[in-house]
Chains A and B, each alone.
Chain A
Amino acid sequence: MTSLLAPEHREPTRSYPSYSRPLVLRLLATREFAVVALLVGVFLYATANVEFFDGPLTLYFLFRDLAPVLLIALPMTLIIVTGEIDLSVASVMGLSAVVMALLHFEAGWSIPAAAAVAVVVGTICGAVNGFLVAYVGLPSLAVTIGTLALFRGIAVGLTGTTQYTGFPQEWRDLALDRISEGSRFPLVLVPITVLAVLFLVLLHFTTFGRGVFEIGLNDEAARFTGVDVERTKFVLFVFAGAVAAMAGIYFALVYNSARGNTGEGTELKVIAAVLLGGVSIFGGRGALPGVIAGALLIGVLSSALRLESVEDNQINIIIGGLLILSVISGSVLGALRGRLRLPGRAAPPPPGPPGGPGTEAPPGA
């Protein structure tokens, strides 16, 4: 079969620039950049003005405590970009921590073997969510509120009121270790960085990731284009389950504690970080660097405020306010951009056949 409309049949009569705005604007006039800039600003301000912020322990504790949120925010970003949500991740954390503790303390398994089974359990939890959302077609908000209670219930049921502590020191040391002797950065940043790069590539530089965005914008059109909507969503929930389980294992080792309520409330911190990072809760919009900056911003801000002896509930008020501001600024920015774009579109007469402005007036008749 010869290619239809091949160049010999019909030369393109027009060519187009790839971008309507210069690179600088495309990089800088985004919500993600605003979050990054805010993060840098807060960090520099805190370093200069907050006593002990530049001390050797501050960043170490900041990253150590923020690690579960950073980890789970990665798959959560992709899920929210498809327009879904996973509220059960914290319960999966708790369940995986409990499973590892039970296998280790009650059945005498080694930590690596127990942790591997815990990750498998987390993956199965994710698969249950994914199956119900993608293949049964239930709304993810309802499904994961259900599994939030279900997985948490299993975790509490397995342990009762027992708290497992006394994990082997060698594994605890690994979780608590620093990248190098005396460094401010905990070793856990290595797997976080690796996963962050993997998810970044997956979302922004693969055909799978293009499908993720299309599903969030218009799943019906995505299906017509040949995107496997069901499989995509299923895979993302499985990822979230697996990563949440890893976060649970890390949590148990770092704090030397596994019990029914391990990780409770983490899902809301994760979602706050994702939304602060510029991801639209309606799906279709967002970028992973913004989410990482959003999570770090929450961490840096709470850490600095705590050093200034601000109470925890006041910190919560500030972060809550910031989140709302960021959501508002998103719509304001969108409206501004829409207004700024109009003259630019109409002004330069496009090359090619005379046909007026490149696009029709917004309320095109």
Chain B
Amino acid sequence: MSARTEAGADRPTLELRDVAKSFGAVAALRSGSLEVWPGSIHALVGENGAGKSTLVKIVAGVYRRDGGTFRLRGADVDFGSTAESKAAGVAVIYQEPTLFPDLSVAENIFMGRHPLRNGRRIDRPRMYAESEALFERLGVHIDPRRPARGLSIADQQIIEIAKAISLDAALLIMDEPTAALSGVEVDRLFAVARSLRDEGRALVFISHRFDEVFALCDTVTVMRDGAYVSTDAITDTSVDEIVTRMVGREVAELFPKTPAEIGDVVLEVDGLQSVGVFHDVSFTVRAGEIVALAGLVGAGRSEIARAVFGMDRYDAGVVRLGGVGVRAHNPRAAIRAGMAFVPEDRRQQGLVTESSVARNVAGVIRRRLSTAGLITSRAENKASGPWAGRLEVKTSALDMTAATMSGGNQQKVVIAKWLATEPRLLIIDEPTRGIDVGTKAEVHRLLSELAGQGLAILMISSELPEVLGMADRVLVVCEGRITADLDRATATPETVMHAATRTGDGAAGAERSVTVGRPEKQEASA
């Protein structure tokens, strides 16, 4: 099956040289170069806007390049559609795969090329058998008969990979596959990626997480401002070196947490419970303190935060802010009490992307800007300008929409919108997901500075370095319960991961493997 991938190890699977692509007057890619060899996992790193995604889309056949060389296994190619690139052995696995939710896993894998019996009937037994064989090769257990709806993002990616293998793809490009995965899921993905490498396929791995790049890849190519910067063997380089090349300047420390004076209790959560989601959750956040909610994706961290802010209902428990009870299931009451909430999904929850910067920034404070309910654009512009300025939002005017901004810039707009409310508690869910390194450091510095000014911060993060670097205290959530309350000194990757997976507690681990429905053997390496 992999004959095609093993042939020709003397030439690179993918060869891009000085590839360019412009949209109108904007050059998204000026000079992209990339050389990926069979049996190699090649990291492609760069800030948001460096041109990585454009490069990938050219390889995938989404865009046609304006110029430059594009070779696959030595042959010049020029794809006009994604179908052509698939036929040529290119597979792209996106951060959030797009499966047909109501079709079965097997139907998704064989979409458009179902095995047929006579009379053009779909041969389901064969389809299921082949799917099972694929999953076995990947070492995962997913029932090919179940519908895709309700599968975790990690499982959906595995299905995309299975699809790619069934197409005998020689080149797999994974565009930020780990952004939404938990530690265990990342380990499983890496195991799959390594086995594909060992079969002689070429892999491109795009990630903002350097620990992953260094753990998985053998070669790394850096891009900046739409152009190629460097390619090195991973053993010959360091995180600092790569970061410097990516931003073109020295980045100050990535997690500049300065100790802040810890004040009175601001947020007090007591016995919060939502049946089937989280149980008996009690914790406090003090002024000047950054408390992180850590744990696996799906452990219930975001759900707890949403309930505290009043987005979701809860069945029992109390939320107090500054000693005063906050009405349940009412975000407006939470906002009035002094809470701010930067949600996980910027485009869907944090911003009205089609709306202007001014209206987004003034979105929460507009009641205050109005007289008797009346409001003008002038008042919104006047109030939002300074906040956008303090956060150094990059936009040419306040009436530009947030839709075309980069992730980091959008996050600044969301933060500006909430800081404008002058909150006492900032809840921030995945503060730097999908944000480039430069902006990431800015966000971290800002959080540290805000804590220094007495803001209480509750941060949810799936990135362990961020949790350990930023938090004064780490609350680990596992299956809807807080399983550990660690201070800065005792919080280490090991203690957090143990509490997050309850590896110390054999019974709970077994329970999890049953409910999730796949073996936990990867957990040992976590």
Contact = CB atoms under 8 A, between A and B. Distances in A.
Interface of A: 1-5, 7, 9-21, 201, 205-208, 210, 213-214, 217-218, 220-226, 228, 284, 339, 342-348, 350, 352-353, 355-365
Interface string B372-400: 01111110010001111110111111111
Given A4-B422, A213-B355, A362 B26 contact: yes
Interface stretch (B2-10, B104-112, B402-410): B402-410
Given A207-B373, A342-B24, 20 more contacts: A1-B338, A1-B424, A3-B422, A14-B392, A15-B386, A17-B397, A20-B400, A201-B374, A205-B376, A223-B331, A224-B341, A224-B349, A345-B400, A346-B26, A358-B394, A359-B404, A362-B28, A363-B28, A364-B48, A365-B223
Interface residues on B, range: 35 or more
A10 B338 CA distance: 21
Contacts of B455: 4
Interface string B337-358: 0100101000011111111011
Interface of chain A: mostly helix, strand, loop or mixed = loop
Contacts, number: 205
A356 B385 contact: no
Contacts of B378: 18
A365 B388 contact: no
8 contacts: A3-B422, A16-B389, A17-B398, A20-B399, A223-B331, A345-B396, A362-B28, A364-B407
A16 B397 CA distance: 5
B373 A218 contact: no
A343 B453 contact: no
B354 A205 contact: no
B375 A360 contact: no
Contacts of A342: 23-26
B394 A218 contact: no
Contacts of A224: 311, 331, 341, 343, 349-350
B225 interface: yes
B288 to A, nearest CB: 11
Nearest to B416: A5
A7 B386 CA distance: 9
A306 to B, nearest CB: 40
B260 interface: no
Interface stretch (B70-78, B146-154, B361-369, B471-479): B361-369
Interface string B26-65: 1110000000000000000010111111110100000100
A344 B395 CA distance: 12
A289 to B, nearest CB: 16
A16 B46 contact: no
Q: Counting chain A CB atoms within 10 Å of each CB, which of B393, B395, B450 scores highest?
A: B395
Contact of A359 (B367, B394, B450): B394
B409 A360 contact: yes
Given A208-B373, A217-B355, A348 B348 contact: no
A223 B335 CA distance: 12
Contacts of A226: 331-332, 335, 364
